[in-house]
Amino acid sequence: MNEVRKIIHIDMDAFYASVEQRDNPEYRGKPLAVGSSPSQRGVVAAASYEARKFGIHSAIASSMAVAKCPHLIIVRPRFEVYRSISAQIHTIFKRYTDIFEPVALDEAYLDVSENKQNIPYASTIARLIRAEIFAETNLTASAGISINKFLAKMASGINKPNGMKVILPEDAIAFVESLPIEKFHGIGKVTAAKMQSLGIRTGADLKERSLNFLVQQFGKSGQYYYNIARAQDERIVEPNRIRKSIGAENSFALDLSDKATILMELEQIAETLHERLEKHQTSGRTLTLKVKFSDYQQITRSRTFGSSINSLDTIITEAIALLGTIELGDRSIRLLGISLSNLDNVQTSQIIQLPLFQL
């Protein structure tokens, strides 16, 4: 039974920016960012490859982007267009398999262990899909092919843009061992910095740490780190997963007791949540704050609004207000989380699964 799976990760190249360059020939070959303007306290949602040469990437402030590249072209996103191209790409996937899981408008995992055309090699399917995407949308995609989601995701970044990479089962361990810790998918900047401070610089270093140690240091994500250090990832490709909520949380290596630090962390979590809402172009009516104390007692507080919210200011203000309703006493906090539910605007092309781990 335990057959080796064939997983493909398809990732459109600089998606939003490439669409704008496709549709506006005057933008081609130029540094371009899709996002909101610096005056709106905006952030960059996507950057063209020309813009990336100036150090501009998604999630940086637009004002910072303009400072790095004064002749940067900034255009407003056209999400209806991106959504319809995303749907187009999904129809291409369906020619090969119904088991695909969109992670964002421009990214999806496919399980082609069994496929509709009985093609033996996943790399053949990846090549065909990329060719069909280009023929039908005039956009390029990169692909990663391997035996699980983690490896497929890592592989799709290797020959970007417009490239692909296979990681064979027999090469998986060596690949992971040599990988710098900050390159691991699922290990964000903050976690990577913490790992480096613990002397974990590569996959090989990570593999030397016990499960116990990793769980102690990183909470429930420790198990995931332990597995990926061994090139293992059992997560299945889940089609049609409908999101009921979007959230962000962080557990702390040192329990928090200082009010100012708690508020700072809460703000950072709100920012992560806000980024995710932006990425998924959604908003919601119910905001929930989760607080776990060092004695593992957990309290949640929710508030439902008359209309949907998604602005960063509202999220921060309301999360702080919810925190104010909790009697903290002199207990210290182990984990903080904010989520938004009663989501609207979730369409087929936005059926999205967020990673299980935090940033």
Closest contact distance (angstroms) between CB of 11 and Mg ion is 4
Residue 313 marked in a binding site: no
Q: Report the residue number, 103 or 256, with the smaller CB distance to Mg ion.
A: 103
Closest contact distance (angstroms) between CB of 183 and Mg ion is 16
Segment near Mg ion (CB under 5 A); pick from 9-17, 59-67, 160-168, 304-312: 9-17
Closest contact distance (angstroms) between CB of 91 and Mg ion is 19
Closest contact distance (angstroms) between CB of 106 and Mg ion is 4
Q: Report the residue number, 142 or 250, with the smaller CB distance to Mg ion.
A: 142
Q: What is the distance between the alpha carbons of residues 280 and 83, in angstroms, rounded to a whole number?
A: 10
Q: Is 20 in the site for Mg ion (CB under 5 A)?
A: no
SS3 assignment, position 333:
strand
In the DSSP assignment, the letter for residue 180 is B
Cis peptide before 161 (omega within 30 of 0): yes
Segment near Mg ion (CB under 5 A); pick from 14-22, 23-31, 166-174, 243-251: 14-22
Got the DSSP string for 32-61?
EEEE--GGGT-BEEEE-HHHHTTT--TTSB
Quote the tokens at residue 24: 């506006």
Segment near Mg ion (CB under 5 A); pick from 13-21, 63-71, 256-264, 322-330: 13-21
Closest contact distance (angstroms) between CB of 150 and Mg ion is 17
Contacts (CB under 5 A) with Mg ion, residues 90-129:
106
Q: Report the residue number, 15 or 150, with the smaller CB distance to Mg ion.
A: 15
Angle subtended at Cα 228 by Cα 223 and Cα 233, rounded to the nearest 5 degrees: 85
State the maximum Cα–Cα separation within the chain, in Å, rounded to a whole number: 63
Q: Report the residue number, 143 or 335, with the smaller CB distance to Mg ion.
A: 143
Q: What is the distance between the alpha carbons of residues 15 and 96, in angstroms, rounded to a whole number?
A: 22
Residue 322 CB-density burial (10 A; 0-12 exposed, 13-18 middle, 19+ buried): buried
Q: Which residues contact 315 (CB under 8 A, 6 or more apart)?
A: 270, 273, 274, 287, 309, 338, 340
Q: Report the residue number, 75 or 328, with the smaller CB distance to Mg ion.
A: 75
Q: Which of residues 8, 9, 10, 11 is near Mg ion by CB under 5 A? A: 11
Q: Do the beta carbons of residue 142 and residue 160 sit within 8 Å?
A: yes
Residue 205 marked in a binding site: no
Segment near Mg ion (CB under 5 A); pick from 8-16, 252-260, 310-318, 324-332: 8-16
Among 50, 101, 107, 132, the one annotated catalytic: 107
Q: Do the beta carbons of residue 336 and residue 291 sit within 8 Å?
A: yes
How many residues sit in the footprint of Mg ion (CB under 5 A)? 4
Q: Assess whether 177 carries a catalytic annotation.
A: no
Q: Report the residue number, 138 or 304, with the smaller CB distance to Mg ion.
A: 138
Distance between first and last Cα of the chain: 34
C-alpha distance from residue 351 to each of 127, 165, 311, 347 (Å): 25, 26, 21, 6
Closest contact distance (angstroms) between CB of 217 and Mg ion is 31
Cα 32 to the center of its chain, rounded Å? 22
Summarize the annotated binding site as residue ranges. 11, 106
Summarize the annotated binding site for Mg(2+) as residue ranges. 11, 106
- Which are the catalytic amino acids? 107
Residue ranges binding Mg ion (CB under 5 A): 11-12, 15, 106
